[in-house]
Structures are given as C-alpha cells and as structure tokens.
Chain A
Amino acid sequence: MIANPDKAHVDFTRQDTLLRVHCTGAWNWSAPHPAMPEEPLWAGLSGVRLEATETTEEDGALLAWLLKFCRVAAERNLAIDTGGLAEGTQKLLALALAVPPRTDHPTDASPGFFASLGGIALRLWSDLPLALAFTGEITQAFGRLLTGKARLRRRDLMWLIEANGPRALPISSLISFLVGTILAYMGAVQLAQFGAQIYIADLVAIGMVREIGALMTGIILAGRTGAAYAAQIGTMQVNEEIDALRTLGISPIDTLVLPRLLALVMMVPLLTLYAGVVGIGAGMLIATTVFGVGIREYLHETVLALSWTHILIGMFKGTVYGALVAFSGCWRGMQCGRSAQAVGEATTSAVVTSILLITVSASVLTILFQRLGW
C-alpha cells in the first residue's frame, strides 16, 4: 500500500501487542514528516518492529524520524526490533541509541525582570569586596616596588607609555577640538544676546581646562586603554600565560598591573592638559571667525580667566579618571574566565566599569572642589 512514492509515509499495524512500523517513500528535510502515532495505538504494546522498504533518503531525515520514534518507544519500555531496516540504518540507529540522552539539562530558563534586576544588584554588591581586595593587592605591589623587592621592566613600561600616551593624541585632538567648538558655539549664542562674546574665552578656557578636558580624556581612555588592558590581560588568562607567571613565583600584579597603572597615571595629566589646549584653540577659532572677537583680545581674556588652580584641578581630575580606567581594565582582565566569550565580557565590563567610576568620581570631585571654594 504505497500511497505516493514521492512522499514519506509510515504505516502502523498492530499484531497483538506488537506494533509494526513500516516506512516507505522519499524522505528528506524539505517535505513534512509523518506524525508520531496517537495515544490509543500505544496502549498495551510490548514491542515495536521497524521496517523500511522502497525508501529513498539523502539527508538523514528517515534516521532522525526513527530515532525520535525509538526514544518515544523506549520511554514506554517497549522492545525495539530494528530487523526490518536496511543494515546501514540499523547500525547508525544502534550507535545513536547506545547512550541514553542526558535528562538533567542545564537550566537556561531566563529569569524574570525583577529576578534579573536583583541579580545585577547582588553582582554589584559582591564586586565591592573584590574591588577592595584588588586595591589591596595593588597597594602591596606598590610597596614592593618602593622597597625594591619588585622590579619594573623598563621596556614594558616604555611600550605601555607609548601605546597609551602619544598614540592617543589623534583621537584626543579630534574630540577636544569638537568639544571646544560646541562649547564656544553654545556659549556664544547666549552671550551674544548681551554683546558679551568676549566671555566665550572664559567659558571655553575654564570649561575645557577644569572639567571637560579631563572628562573627555577619561572617556577616550576608557574605550581605548581600559578595553585594551582588559583584553590583553584576559587573553593572557585564557592562554595560561598568567598561570605560567604564577608557577614561577612571579606576581602578575607586579609584572602586568603595576606597569599599566603607572603608564596611564603618568600619561593622563599630559593628555588632559593637551585636551585643554586644543579646546581653547577650537574656541578661539570659532570666536574670532564667527563671532568677531579679536585674536589678541581672546588670548588676553583666556590668560585672565585661567589660574593655576583651574589647571591643577583639571590635571588632578584627569589623573583620578586615568587611574580608575587602568584599575577597571586590569581588574576585569584579571577576573576574566577561560574562554573567548569571557574575554569579550571582560572588555565590555571594563569599559562600563570605567565610565561608571569616572561619572561618579566626576560628580563627587566637582561638588567637593566647589565646597572647598577652589
């Protein structure tokens, strides 16, 4: 009884407590497959016999259906006789059925909104002692460096300084120039209402040097250096390079974290200063070409507006942000798991942590310096 030789078909016939399952037709993945037998057919069976005649298949569709059927039959503790199948199919089926499927699946049920919110809060909370421990380790390493028990490899340090100082200049120039332009434009539109365009110079100079230069430098470094630190250290973790250091009794904090932290802390005040200078240049360009302020007036006003306090506060803030970026990058790198996926997560997490810490510390420092009246 072959209904249509082009279509996969299964006949189920009962002989007492034996169910004969007869497959015919052309089996492939693009055509729909016969359904599993209905419940009444299963009742009171003791075994099944699988048969296949005149079947054609190219892509394992018949085998997949048979395997599914056998799993259902096995759940009902039925004896399975594969004698009516082609020899190759019998062997493959025996191979696939040799090991029972694992039933304790890893739970991948996605938690609800509140559960995941709680998860994030718990993770942040548990990060706190870890961050403190890492700070402690860095402090100890710094102590070892000062007492001469640890040695900084000068070549590593020079390489890190070059990679994270001078090489950040192009992107820093671009961003600072544009931010300076925006600042000048926004200020000028308001100030021009009172004919006070000359105060663009004060706005840009103080704004760039005291606040925004440092902030922008911090954020550029978070994306550029923080991410690089996390990826470098994370990959070393994956490649067992850090284990190789540890088994030699060399502290990875001394050899990897300390030079990275020092390189950035040394470079970031200079980058902040540079960002301020470029911003002032951009402000001057806008004020003189668009709003008719003279170059000499602008420069004079800038010099009047700036004080050492502004400059030092800007550099101090930049240094704090740079230290936070290096800390986050190295910390997340050291925490990294042992897979490519984990390196990606460590990098993302380093940038997010850096930006979070920069924003929080920027607010705290700004309020602090205002209160101190500096």
Chain B
Amino acid sequence: MNESIISIRNLTMAYGDNVIQRDLTFDIQRGDIFVIMGGSGCGKSTLLRHMIGLQAPSAGSVLFGSEDFWAASAEEQDRLKRRFGVLFQAGALWSSLTLAENIAFPMEEFTRLPADAIRDIVATKLALVGLAGFEHYYPSEISGGMKKRAALARAMALNPDILFFDEPSAGLDPLSSRRLDELILQLRDSLGATIVLVTHELPSIFAVANNSVFLDAESKTMIATGDPKHLALHGPDGVRSFLSRGEPS
C-alpha cells in the first residue's frame, strides 16, 4: 500500500518575480486523504493549481506515479488529467448546461458510451450526492451547497483515481459540511480514490485527513508534513497553534 501516487519534488511557485512558495517536497500515497493547510494567502490554492495542471511551476516537478506532469507532452498531460477530477471552490459548473449535461459532458468527450448508459450514470452520480431528480435544473437555479455537490458528481464522472477539492466546505453550513466530509470518506473507502483537499476547516481536517502538508506564508515554504492529528500534538509551534486556533492546549 506504500506507493506514492503523487510526488512533489523541489517545487517552487512564483508569479513573475514574486515567489509564493519554494522547495516543496512531499508524497501522497494511494488511498490518502491529504490536506494542504496554511494561513490565508500562503499559496494553498496556487499549489493546487500546479497539481491540476493549470499553472506551470518555476522550478521542480509534479509527478503522477513516475510521470513528470510538466515535462510531458500535451497529449500525455491530457491523458494524466483524465486520471483526476477537480471540485472547484464555487463548483464551476458550466452555466449554459443543465446538471445532467454538465455531468455527461466529460463522458461524451472521452468515452464511447451510448446515450442511455450515460443517462443512467448521470442519474447514479446525482443520487450519490443527494441530488436525484435534479437532472434538468440549471446551475443558476440551485443553491450554493447543491452546486458544490453537483460539481462533485461531475468530478466523479470519469471515475478518477484522484480527486482534488478546493475549499470544499467554504460557504456550507456545518451540517452540509459534515455530510460532505462523510461523502469524502465514503469515496475513499468505496472507490479507493486518493483525495487531496485544500482547506482550513479544522473539524474537516481532523475528521477526514490522514496526511497533510503545512505551508507557511512567512518563510515561504512548508514547515511540516504528516498526520494532522499527530502535528496538533507534536508539530512545530506555528502548526500546533494553527491546529488549535491559537488556544493554549
């Protein structure tokens, strides 16, 4: 089971001359629920954008298994991208398509499934996220939490082995947020997916994560990596106070 599915090697991220984070090196194992943590503005979402192929690093590499994403050809990159699904912060559902069309789109592009099979798959995915019967709604007609769940259904459309979540609980009420945590755990257990989360929601971090990296905005690099429950007790000072909301333990 000790097999790295994603390896980050000496990654440096920058916008022009403005370095966000330097020298990040960590591994994500198959079946991990991995959290990228850190204070606001430390570059968590930027790191995610590097991992999902939206932004090229200034130095270092992102490896999926043994394949270096940013050194690969465009076709190779497209093939690697199909191995993962992404849930964006506000869902990013295509607003001109209905929920069913949103979920069907990746399948229509990349598989040769017949239309009625796609229809059944769409219904199943929607049911899994608690949105059965919402096929013909447009994203503008449903609430923010429902959009996120629909986007999750879309991210799962191609049965990816890695799922990336950008602040999944942002804007959700505590109950919906907990339901999402449970869904994440189920996805890992039933589909064997590896899950990478960007979040600073402490209850979620402790409820789901078994591994993490902590980015520091001051020193512009990672200051800890490991199980957050362990870091909360034995990590460096900055990490311990972050994980206890600055309250003395």
Contact = CB atoms under 8 A, between A and B. Distances in A.
A76 interface: no
Interface in B90-132: 90, 92-96, 106, 109-110
B81 interface: yes
Nearest to A239: B92
B230 interface: no
B82 A241 contact: no
Contacts of A246: 53-54
A15 B232 CA distance: 52
Contact of A240 (B78, B82, B88, B106): B88
* Most-contacted residue by chain A among B52, B77, B86, B154 (CB, 10 A): B86
Interface in A242-276: 243-250
A236 interface: yes
Contact of B81 (A151, A156, A249): A249
Given A239-B95, A241-B94, A247 B52 contact: yes
A249 B82 contact: yes
A232 B82 CA distance: 26
B89 interface: yes
A244 B92 contact: yes
Contacts of A156: 96
B82 A243 contact: no
B245 interface: no
A156 B154 CA distance: 19
Contacts of A245: 94
A339 B88 CA distance: 16
Contacts of B84: 247
B79 interface: yes
A247 B94 contact: no
A102 B108 CA distance: 52
B98 to A, nearest CB: 11
A249 B92 CA distance: 15
A235 B94 CA distance: 11
A243 B155 CA distance: 13
Nearest to B86: A247
B81 A248 contact: yes
Nearest to A151: B109
A80 B89 CA distance: 45
A219 B92 CA distance: 33
Nearest to B157: A248
Interface residues of B, number: 22
Nearest to A245: B94
B31 to A, nearest CB: 22
Contact of B53 (A151, A239, A244, A247): A247
Contacts of A243: 54, 86, 88, 92
Nearest to B82: A249
Contact of B94 (A151, A244, A249): A244
Given A247-B53, A249-B79, A249-B82, A240 B109 contact: no
Contacts of A241: 92-95
Contacts of A250: 106, 109
A245 B154 CA distance: 11
A239 B90 contact: yes
Interface in B62-92: 77-79, 81-82, 84, 86, 88-90, 92
Contacts of B93: 241, 244
A156 B101 CA distance: 12
Contact of B95 (A151, A236, A248): A236
A156 B77 CA distance: 26
Contact of A249 (B77, B90, B95, B154): B77
A333 to B, nearest CB: 14
A28 B208 CA distance: 52
B39 to A, nearest CB: 15
Contacts of A240: 88-90, 92
A239 B154 CA distance: 16
A156 B106 CA distance: 15
A241 B54 CA distance: 12
Contacts of B95: 235-236, 239, 241
Nearest to A249: B78
Nearest to A150: B109
A244 B81 contact: no
Contacts of B94: 236, 241, 244-245
B109 A244 contact: no
A245 B95 CA distance: 12
Nearest to B78: A249
A231 B89 CA distance: 21
A74 to B, nearest CB: 24
A250 B86 CA distance: 14
A246 B86 CA distance: 11
A244 B88 contact: yes
Contacts of B79: 249
12 contacts: A232-B96, A236-B95, A240-B92, A243-B54, A243-B88, A244-B94, A244-B154, A245-B94, A246-B54, A247-B81, A248-B81, A248-B110
Interface of A: 151, 156, 232, 235-236, 239-241, 243-250
Given A241-B94, A247-B86, 17 more contacts: A232-B96, A235-B95, A236-B94, A241-B92, A241-B95, A243-B54, A243-B86, A244-B86, A244-B92, A245-B94, A246-B53, A246-B54, A247-B52, A247-B84, A248-B82, A248-B106, A248-B109
